A and B are shown apart, each in its own frame.
Chain A
Amino acid sequence: MEDALYLALNKALQMGSKYAEVRGHEGSHIYVSFENGRLREIETSSVKGIGVRVIYNDTWGFSSTSMLTNEFITKAVENAISIAKVSSYRSEKVRLREVKAFDAKAESVCKIDPFNVDLSEVIKLGIDANKSAMISDDIKNTLTSIGFQKSRRLFVSSDGAYVETAVVMSGLRHSSTAKYMDQLEVVGDSESKCAGYELIRSVDWLEFTGEISKLALLAVKAKHPPPGTYPVVLDSEMVGLLLHEAFGHASEADLVEKGDSVLRGRVGEKIASECVTIVDDGLVKGGYFVPFDDEGVRKARTVVVENGYLRTYISSRETAHRLNIEATGNARAEGYSYVPIVRQTNYYMEKGDYSLEELLEGIKYGFYVTSKGAGGGQVDTGIGSFTFRAGVSYLVENGEVKETVRGVAISGLILDTLKTVDAVGKDFKVITSVFGGCGKSGQTVRVGLGGPPIRVREMIVGGV
């Protein structure tokens, strides 16, 4: 792989590129799924290829190939330069923030390579975990997946950088569908880490899936919340989702400098309550492992919001230059055939002092919103509106958790919501997932998100 990268880099420079970088990516996945006590399917895959990005005539050009022969690598370089040439008359001149060119290797901790584990062990575990969720005739479906990912990324540039990153991930997710009269409801949960098979062996998955089924049986009988605006306590994972959607995308420098973010021009402004500090960090326990981004820039801990004040945006080298800020190491690409764009890594809120009980005490009538069965979120950064689907949640009255509610959709405005955070919890958690990630401009990347539980004074809650 290294030879292919340097072949491409040298050709790009020989052909007249002012700057060139080549990314190599090789990886493997295994997903094994189980349904209603049986193996459903085994999906295994591998990827391998290189992506060439050049600055030619002050314009970007990009191409890629999975065929790592001299002929195809040369063609990829020619394609990249050709498209740079063609688009140069219509392009803004590319300027990049100066960064240190690292010579570095980093790998996530992996004690047991999941790709060396006998697949029959994985299959037995999956069937047992899936059957363990079949706790009642009212559980109509149990669906379990076990997933492993191994990924090695290399980066070389004409600045002299060589960066190699290796990540192994493991995880299990499960959903149970419960029935009550003519109603169906599905509840799910998952656990993933940048870790090897030692994660799988360390968790009691039979209990994990059984608990999900118990929750599904409760949820299917639960009412929907009445629609309106309420104070809400969010659990750690929902805080992560809130930050990711309600704030993270709007803080991405490419959206900011294009004028597609409500945070544009607001550095130094108070955009959240003083108990809110928000960080993007490539190396946080529980998150996805991003020591360097896909431009070879070290992903340092970036304090985006400090005690309510917007301090910076997260950026790539080009967007950092345009906004006159530091490059924060947030240029990421889904794989070798994609161009790196500004993405979050692990976005979280720093912890405070409140226990969960203390957070709930401050609610006269509102909700405690959890992530068990949550569905993700979406944001319109230009309008400033976000939404996400929470999991099984609870009505809270006078500080006490009362009945279960389901189907909770949350919405709000980016510039308003974080100003109404009035208490931040002390239990901190960041999660990631081997089963999905964040989507932007047709690319999906792994991310982490989380924080402590928090209380928000006003959130729009969708109900029936």
Chain B
Amino acid sequence: MIEEVVDLVIKRGLELGASEVEAYCRVGKVTDVNFDEKVRFARSSYLSGLAIRLVYNNRVGFYSTHSLDKNEVLGAVEHTFKIAKVAPEDPRWRSLPKETSSTSVIGTYDKKTAELDEATIIDNAISIIQYAREVSDKVSVADGHFSTSVAEVAIKNSYGDLLKRRATRVGYYVSIKAEDAGKLATYATYDSARCIDRLIVEDRVKAGARRALDFLSTAKVEVGKYPIVIHGEVFSDILSVMFGRTLSADLIQEGRSPYIGKLNSEIADVRFTLIDDGTLEFGVDSKEFDDEGVRTRRNVLIEGGILRTYLYDTYRAGIENRESTGSAVKTALSSLPLPMPHNLILRPGDYEFDELLKEVRRGIYVERVIGEWLSNPISGLLNATVTHGYLIENGELGSPVSGFIISGSFFELIRSSIVGLEKVLHRSGSVYSPSTAVSKLSVSSK
């Protein structure tokens, strides 16, 4: 069905007089369960959508719709054409990708996950409740969410052949609470994967439950500057904020990235190597081709601290007469593609986690934060409020601590403050990072 839709879009667009047409069509199903101590509600929905880019005399129109009804699709093409006719001519426009292709990626689609029935999905959610309870009778689930999705995407433009890809995803989030003697503490844990067999549930939920018990009582942290060991999941979130867009060619070309003019310059510690890999096996955001039909690939962004490349889609590459890096990403159906990383990976280092603590000796270990996404990637100011941390005393974890802000210059952090990188990768979303020890961040507290 989606093949017919994209063909109809291209055909109608060219009939109207467009010089180029691109159709992005997706269909899929999502099943999710919301629960606390029992299931609260469950959803099973089929989703669909179409996004059209149409070019008329170097004027670009864009429109998206959820309906794949034939008359609605034809109307959508006509609407997009109308927009293109009104848009000013873009002198920088070259073309849509003239060569579309895909690459082979392992692990993007799993038949077992795609065919999970509703009862099994609900049983998976229930198992989370049971795992939490097995740790202690003081522990229960405050809020949880388990979801699976399967989707098929087709992309075609007026130059090339149809490309299709399928994707499965499964994941959960659970907030576990501990209550004792009138005190309350919560701890959130989560995981996501491309297939059900790679989802880690029991270990993570039980670890989360133990953490919730730990945080029933917390110590105070004084204002000051401290060495900090940042858990890999938190550092992944920080990397996502700080590098999620700042190495994208649109920000570079338009003057709003701190990395303008820094290609082949040293911007980070020699141990800092950052890679974007859209072909990562079982990678959370791996895909065979990007969202305009250009094959994905592995892009080494920062190598041994030296900035090596920016990320380009076809439009931004055309401005500089270079090739796309296969980095066109639609953040939503209703958005135009932008150059962005797919899976961002910080190369791990040499330290065991305990060795990082010993290296720091006295400081703070940060395991969960809120607000790190409010950091400023343009000025480089990192801010995060720590909800779950531990004092590091004599190279070991000490009292749990919570409710203070860590701040500092991210540029300085990656350039001159890295003490060590763990040898294991953790993940949050589609960013992979080792736990990282830094020599100094400011702490603000009461």
CB neighbours (8 Å) of A186 from chain B are 256, 376, 378-379
A388 to B66, Cβ gap below 8 A? Answer: no
CB neighbours (8 Å) of A120 from chain B are 86
Of A196-204, A404-412, A428-436, the stretch lying at the interface with chain B is A404-412
B186 to A258, Cβ gap below 8 A? Answer: no
A259 to B179, Cβ gap below 8 A? Answer: yes
Of B95-103, B287-295, B358-366, B438-446, the stretch lying at the interface with chain A is B438-446
Measured CB to CB, the nearest residue on chain B to A376 is: B374
CA distance A381 to B428 in the complex (A): 21
**A182 → chain B, closest Cβ, in Å?**
9
CA distance A140 to B256 in the complex (A): 7
Measured CB to CB, the nearest residue on chain B to A66 is: B66
CB neighbours (8 Å) of B383 from chain A are 387, 389, 407, 409, 462
CA distance A400 to B40 in the complex (A): 53
B119 to A86, Cβ gap below 8 A? Answer: yes
CB neighbours (8 Å) of A357 from chain B are none
Q: Does A42 contact B (CB under 8 A)?
A: yes
Partner of B381, one of A229, A259, A376, A464: A464
Please report which residues of chain A, range 95-132, place their CB below 8 angstroms from some CB of chain B when the two chains form the complex.
118-120, 123
**A212 → chain B, closest Cβ, in Å?**
14
Please report which residues of chain A, range 348-389, place their CB below 8 angstroms from some CB of chain B when the two chains form the complex.
375-380, 382-383, 385-389
Q: Does B436 contact A (CB under 8 A)?
A: no
Q: A184-B379, A259-B179 are in contact. Are A45 and B334 (CB under 8 A)?
A: yes
CB neighbours (8 Å) of B334 from chain A are 29, 43, 45
A42 to B62, Cβ gap below 8 A? Answer: yes
CA distance A262 to B126 in the complex (A): 25
CA distance A239 to B42 in the complex (A): 36
Of A4-12, A57-65, A150-158, A294-302, the stretch lying at the interface with chain B is A57-65
Partner of A260, one of B38, B60, B177, B381: B177
**A237 → chain B, closest Cβ, in Å?**
15
B39 to A90, Cβ gap below 8 A? Answer: yes
Partner of A383, one of B37, B64, B186: B186
Please report which residues of chain A, range 140-173, place their CB below 8 angstroms from some CB of chain B when the two chains form the complex.
140-141, 143
Of B137-145, B152-160, B199-207, B296-304, the stretch lying at the interface with chain A is B137-145
Q: A339-B41, A387-B371 are in contact. Are A258 and B184 (CB under 8 A)?
A: no
Measured CB to CB, the nearest residue on chain A to B407 is: A462
A380 to B38, Cβ gap below 8 A? Answer: no
Contact with B along A174-213 (1 / 0, CB 8 A): 0001000001111000000000000000000000000000
**A350 → chain B, closest Cβ, in Å?**
27
A259 to B374, Cβ gap below 8 A? Answer: no
CB neighbours (8 Å) of A338 from chain B are 43
B39 to A91, Cβ gap below 8 A? Answer: yes
CB neighbours (8 Å) of A337 from chain B are 45, 47
Contact-residue bracket for chain B: 35 or more
CB neighbours (8 Å) of A262 from chain B are 184
Q: A378-B371, A464-B407 are in contact. Are A224 and B381 (CB under 8 A)?
A: yes
Q: A91-B40, A92-B38 are in contact. Are A185 and B60 (CB under 8 A)?
A: no
A46 to B65, Cβ gap below 8 A? Answer: yes
Q: Does B215 contact A (CB under 8 A)?
A: yes
Measured CB to CB, the nearest residue on chain B to A91 is: B39
CA distance A123 to B408 in the complex (A): 40
Q: Does A80 contact B (CB under 8 A)?
A: yes
CB neighbours (8 Å) of B446 from chain A are 229, 458, 460
Please report which residues of chain B, range 367-398, place their CB below 8 angstroms from some CB of chain A when the two chains form the complex.
370-371, 373-374, 376, 378-379, 381, 383-385, 387-388
**A15 → chain B, closest Cβ, in Å?**
15
Q: A42-B83, A177-B255, A388-B374 are in contact. Are A63 and B336 (CB under 8 A)?
A: no
Q: Does B236 contact A (CB under 8 A)?
A: no
Measured CB to CB, the nearest residue on chain A to B258 is: A184
CB neighbours (8 Å) of A461 from chain B are 405, 444
Q: Does A445 contact B (CB under 8 A)?
A: no
B60 to A42, Cβ gap below 8 A? Answer: yes
**A75 → chain B, closest Cβ, in Å?**
8
Measured CB to CB, the nearest residue on chain A to B442 is: A227
A90 to B126, Cβ gap below 8 A? Answer: yes
**B83 → chain A, closest Cβ, in Å?**
6
Q: Does B223 contact A (CB under 8 A)?
A: yes
A382 to B83, Cβ gap below 8 A? Answer: no
Q: A41-B62, A48-B66, A87-B122 are in contact. Are A260 and B143 (CB under 8 A)?
A: yes
A42 to B122, Cβ gap below 8 A? Answer: no
CA distance A177 to B379 in the complex (A): 10
Partner of A44, one of B62, B67, B223, B256: B62
Q: Does B403 contact A (CB under 8 A)?
A: yes
Contact with B along A80-92 (1 / 0, CB 8 A): 1011101100111
Partner of B48, one of A66, A119, A177, A229: A66
B45 to A65, Cβ gap below 8 A? Answer: yes
Q: Does A413 contact B (CB under 8 A)?
A: yes
Q: A177-B378, A464-B408 are in contact. Are A63 and B45 (CB under 8 A)?
A: yes
Q: A35-B254, A45-B334, A141-B256 are in contact. Are A67 and B67 (CB under 8 A)?
A: yes
CB neighbours (8 Å) of B379 from chain A are 183-186, 406-407
CB neighbours (8 Å) of A44 from chain B are 61-64, 79-80, 83
Q: Does A74 contact B (CB under 8 A)?
A: no
Q: A378-B373, A441-B34, A464-B407 are in contact. Are A86 and B118 (CB under 8 A)?
A: yes
CB neighbours (8 Å) of A65 from chain B are 45-46
Partner of A387, one of B63, B126, B385: B385
14 contacts between A and B (CB under 8 A): A43-B336, A45-B333, A46-B64, A69-B69, A91-B40, A185-B379, A186-B378, A255-B143, A379-B370, A382-B177, A383-B186, A383-B387, A389-B376, A462-B444
A contact residues vs B (CB 8 Å cutoff): 29, 35-36, 38-39, 41-49, 51, 59-69, 72, 75-76, 79-80, 82-84, 86-87, 90-92, 118-120, 123, 140-141, 143, 177, 183-186, 224, 227-229, 255, 258-260, 262, 337-339, 375-380, 382-383, 385-389, 406-407, 409, 411, 413, 441-442, 458, 460-464
Given A49-B67, A64-B43, A385-B387, 16 additional A-B pairs, CB 8 A? A39-B87, A43-B334, A60-B40, A65-B45, A67-B68, A90-B38, A90-B122, A92-B37, A92-B39, A186-B378, A228-B444, A255-B143, A380-B387, A389-B383, A442-B145, A462-B444
B contact residues vs A (CB 8 Å cutoff): 31, 33-34, 36-49, 60-69, 79-80, 83, 86-88, 90, 118-119, 122, 125-126, 140, 142-143, 145, 175, 177, 179, 184-186, 188, 215, 223, 254-256, 258, 333-336, 370-371, 373-374, 376, 378-379, 381, 383-385, 387-388, 402-409, 442-446
